[in-house]
Amino acid sequence: MITGIEARDIRFPTSRHSHGSDAMNPDPDYSCAYATLHMRGGDPDGNGLTFTIGRGNDLCVSAIEGLGLHLIGRELDEFEEDLGLASRLLLNDSQYRWLGPEKGVVHLAAAALINAVWDALAKRAGKPLWKYVSDMPPERIVSAIDFRHISDYLPKAEALDRLTQQAGGRAERTAALIRDGYPAYTTSAGWIGYTDEEIVRRLRAAHAEGWRHFKIKVGGDLEGDLRRCKLFRDTLGPDVRLSVDANQVWDVDDAVQAIRAMAPYDIYWVEEPTSPDDILGHKAIAEQVSPVLLATGEHAHNRVMFKQFLQAGAIGFCQIDACRLAGVNEVLAVMMMADKAGVPVCPHAGGVGLCEYVQHLSMIDFVCISGTMTDRVIEHAAHLHQHFVNPIETRNGRYIAPSAPGYSVDLFPQSIADHEFPHGKVWAEEMAG
Amino acid sequence: MITGIEARDIRFPTSRHSHGSDAMNPDPDYSCAYATLHMRGGDPDGNGLTFTIGRGNDLCVSAIEGLGLHLIGRELDEFEEDLGLASRLLLNDSQYRWLGPEKGVVHLAAAALINAVWDALAKRAGKPLWKYVSDMPPERIVSAIDFRHISDYLPKAEALDRLTQQAGGRAERTAALIRDGYPAYTTSAGWIGYTDEEIVRRLRAAHAEGWRHFKIKVGGDLEGDLRRCKLFRDTLGPDVRLSVDANQVWDVDDAVQAIRAMAPYDIYWVEEPTSPDDILGHKAIAEQVSPVLLATGEHAHNRVMFKQFLQAGAIGFCQIDACRLAGVNEVLAVMMMADKAGVPVCPHAGGVGLCEYVQHLSMIDFVCISGTMTDRVIEHAAHLHQHFVNPIETRNGRYIAPSAPGYSVDLFPQSIADHEFPHGKVWAEEMAG
């Protein structure tokens, strides 16, 4: 039984070294509101987190504490029997819902809690989350999805048909996944606060490690963006993939102009070219810069937004986020819609804990839903993994399938203690200057 | 100079009597996070609020306290000289922005603070907010608007042209407004938790007071919805306007079916037929139920969402909210886009303080922007006005133009003290049962 919810305000002072910096976010302190479901009666505790970049992380902590009351007193068996229960309990509190609805702080907090429930379920089953889900019959996976407000695009019966159709190949794909891992790209070379020299050094090092798909930040002045694209091609040549990320800074017409100017550098995708709410704006940009494809999703706050990006044909890549969406349940809905649209799922993972989370999601997509890794990559950012009990493993530019039970975001107790804001050791030192 | 920000958690136990109840929100406790900017040096304090329906109001209070630090130490003159300053300071804190962006708790909190700055400015000028804005030259009004992410639909130069074109008639329209007031409709008769007898009694009473446009809540079972529509027409006949509000509960196909069934009752608008994020869904519904028109906006979280609803021709009425949008600045952007689209602005005001707020906005729309009251109405809900120092006044179904300086949301100190959550007298009694 869930007897208590603990929520911690964990922050890492990443802004010291411009890790994670981009055109919209010059000085992020990668942070998370870290939720633990304490259990009584022999079931394992569950951990979940929601990612933020510093100030306001405390709001997510408070929201976890408030929303979490809905879980207290529930048995883990109830969540096992009804995979949609946690999601319904947390998203349908009408008073909290008003503050979104299904977006912002409350949705982020719900994600941490919902993911903590999935973590406990997978741990109890002794399986990593991707395997826990991949071992479920199609009916059970569908039972986790809330089809409200998406049934016009993806009716429940159609989702079930698709999962059933793909179920036959699961064993073979699971074997391939364990053998080969899952393709990835790296963001760690191209943060906007890095100097050109730093970028070149990091690109070369990453290439030597086996990376063949890179992302760099753009959206500063256009001349600088083009210089960085040229720097990239001059350093690594034409045979590697380059994606760029503008982090929302352009208006529609600016985006079209900038993307056309960058196109000669052979851009794999352009990420967040404008407001993440602007479905019609993305569509207008996409039509004018074709065949360059757009990617978005790290700020697409729920399944209804993704539904429209996919309906409109506005994006070429679907960038789910493990905790911007309301946890595993809503991610499943979005991955199934992306599959229907034929749009590859390439998760967002620049942050803390996001790589650990999303590897499971891409693997579920491969084994259960899309059945393919073609054109699909998981983002990789090389920061802060040392704080996790079961950190990601990558080799030759691919994620190794995780094998530890759960959803992989358990933080070491010492990392929690040191980075708790504002009184942990790291912050006490930071504030002392 | 702003020397301090005070944020209070004020809640009214409206769920006791089903005031405000609808298909999505069965038991709202109308609440507000109430922000006061304390001034030194002779300038008046400014008050602003953001509206919620209970749980989670504390999150908005915390966000006001955190974001508010950006205003401390600033002179009111700075905000007078640069009408976009408060908005930029509060919406461009990139760490807080991550939690939206521009949506949810952080955006609601920013609204309270931005509106408090406008309140102080109008009070210092000795004018009600609508008059304070209506006395500005077009260049100054435009300077308050952030055109980022909307310039593809409404370029700044076009906004300036439109305001300039309308400036000539301002004096005449101001006189008409003061003489005749502004048309309104009432929601107070049709909350979903009321019995049929209660609805009939309230409809008759409101009609006797001069109301000729009513809204009732639907979105329960369709049979019940149709019974209530029939009850309405049986009670008041064909010569009054009936709008209905489904509060987001339908999926696209359900909405089409329900609206077609209600259409014979001559529905003026159908409000929130589905998810407030679903621009394409609204468009699909609108195309299938024409000539019935849709209305939405109380949960449309920023100018980018409204831009798309208008671009897509998805809504027939634009329901701005004074604090869901980031205060006066963002409302101005939306009202100008609605004007361009030829879509009437009919503000959302079911809540506490929202009637007090939005009367000013509709009046600015009339005097400065659209220049007309045709097809435009302000919502009226008859609750909680007794707590405001300068409550709305209505007569014969019209709002009287407010004359007191400011933005009209000053609460009486006693009301604050009694309703502060959780220790105010009213809540202490509520909890004692």
pLDDT tens per residue across span A120-147 = 999 999 999 999 999 999 999 999 999 9
**Which H helix or E strand runs over B332?**
helix B327-341
Size of interface A-B (CB pairs under 8 A): 189
- CA dist A229 and A202 (Å) reads 15
> Residue ranges per domain, chain B?
2-127+414-432, 170-411
Nearest to B95 among A56, A94, A97 (CB): A56
Residue-wise DSSP of A22-77:
-SS-SS---EEEEEEEEE-SSPPPEEEEEEE-STTHHHHHHHHHHHGGGTTT--HH
Q: What is the pLDDT of residue B26?
A: 84
Question: Distance, in angstroms, between B238 CA and closest chain A CA?
Answer: 33
Q: What is the pLDDT of residue B411?
A: 98
Give the CATH class of A170-409: alpha beta
Query: Strand pairing of B46-52 and A2-11?
Result: unpaired
Q: What is the pLDDT of residue A314?
A: 98
Position A431 pLDDT exceeds 90: no
- CA dist B21 and B383 (Å) reads 13
- CA dist B286 and B334 (Å) reads 20
- A278–B53: do the CB atoms touch at under 8 Å? no
Nearest to B278 among A104, A251, A304 (CB): A304
Domain A2-126+414-432 has CATH 3.10.129.10: no
**Residue B25 binned pLDDT confidence (cut-offs 50, 70, 90):** confident
A2-126+414-432 and A170-409: identical CATH topology: no
Q: What is the pLDDT of residue A47?
A: 98
Q: In chain A, which residues have their Cβ closer than 8 Å to the Cβ of B314?
A: none
Range A272-287 average pLDDT: 98
- CA dist A46 and B45 (Å) reads 47
- A107–B105: do the CB atoms touch at under 8 Å? no
B94/A contact by beta carbon, under 8 A:
yes
Contact in structure between A170 and A367 (CB atoms under 8 Å): yes
B248-258: per-residue pLDDT in tens? 999 999 999 99
Q: What is the pLDDT of residue A153?
A: 98
State chain B's mean pLDDT as an integer: 96
- CA dist A368 and A363 (Å) reads 8
pTM of the model: 0.98
CA nearest neighbour of B300 among B116, B64, B107: B107
* Cβ count near A235 (within 10 Å): 18
Whether A348 is catalytic is yes
Position B191 pLDDT exceeds 90: no
CA nearest neighbour of B261 among B91, B253, B51, B94: B253
- B95–A281: do the CB atoms touch at under 8 Å? no
**Residue A340 binned pLDDT confidence (cut-offs 50, 70, 90):** very high
CA nearest neighbour of B421 among B5, B7, B45, B68: B7
Q: In chain B, which residues have their Cβ closer than 8 Å to the Cβ of A277?
A: 102-103, 149, 301-302, 304-305, 308
Q: What is the pLDDT of residue A20?
A: 76
State chain A's mean pLDDT as an integer: 96
Best to test chain A binding among B11, B25, B55 (most A CBs inside 10 Å):
B55
- A96–B56: do the CB atoms touch at under 8 Å? yes
Only one residue has tokens 């380059």, namely A242
Q: What is the pLDDT of residue A397?
A: 95
B401-422: per-residue pLDDT in tens? 999 999 999 999 999 999 999 9
- B101–A66: do the CB atoms touch at under 8 Å? no
Give the CATH class of B2-127+414-432: alpha beta
State yes or no: cis peptide before A422, omega within 30 of 0. Answer: yes
Position B111 pLDDT exceeds 80: yes
Q: In chain B, which residues have their Cβ closer than 8 Å to the Cβ of A55?
A: 66, 93, 95-96
The dihedral sign for the CA sequence A206, A207, A212, A213: positive
- A98–B252: do the CB atoms touch at under 8 Å? no
Range A338-357 average pLDDT: 97
If contacts are CB pairs under 8 Å, which of residues 39-78 in chain A contact chain B?
A: 52-56, 58-60, 62-63, 66
* Cβ count near A197 (within 10 Å): 9
Range B20-45 average pLDDT: 92
Q: What is the CA B147 to chain-centroid distance, rounded?
A: 21
A214-267: per-residue pLDDT in tens? 999 999 899 999 999 999 999 999 999 999 999 999 999 999 999 999 999 999
- A103–B103: do the CB atoms touch at under 8 Å? yes
* Cβ count near A124 (within 10 Å): 19
If contacts are CB pairs under 8 Å, which of residues 300-329 in chain A contact chain B?
A: 301-302, 304-305, 307-308, 311-312
Instruction: Kindly calculate the radius of gyration of chain A based on its CA atoms and give it in whole angstroms.
Output: 21
Range B127-151 average pLDDT: 98
Nearest to B24 among A59, A66, A94 (CB): A94
Question: Distance, in angstroms, between A16 CA and closest chain B CA?
Answer: 15
Give the CATH class of B170-411: alpha beta
Question: Distance, in angstroms, between B105 CA and closest chain A CA?
Answer: 6
Question: Distance, in angstroms, between B80 CA and closest chain A CA?
Answer: 27
Question: Distance, in angstroms, between A181 CA and closest chain B CA?
Answer: 31
* Sheet strands (E) in B227-327: 241-245, 267-271, 293-296, 317-318
Q: What is the pLDDT of residue B286?
A: 98
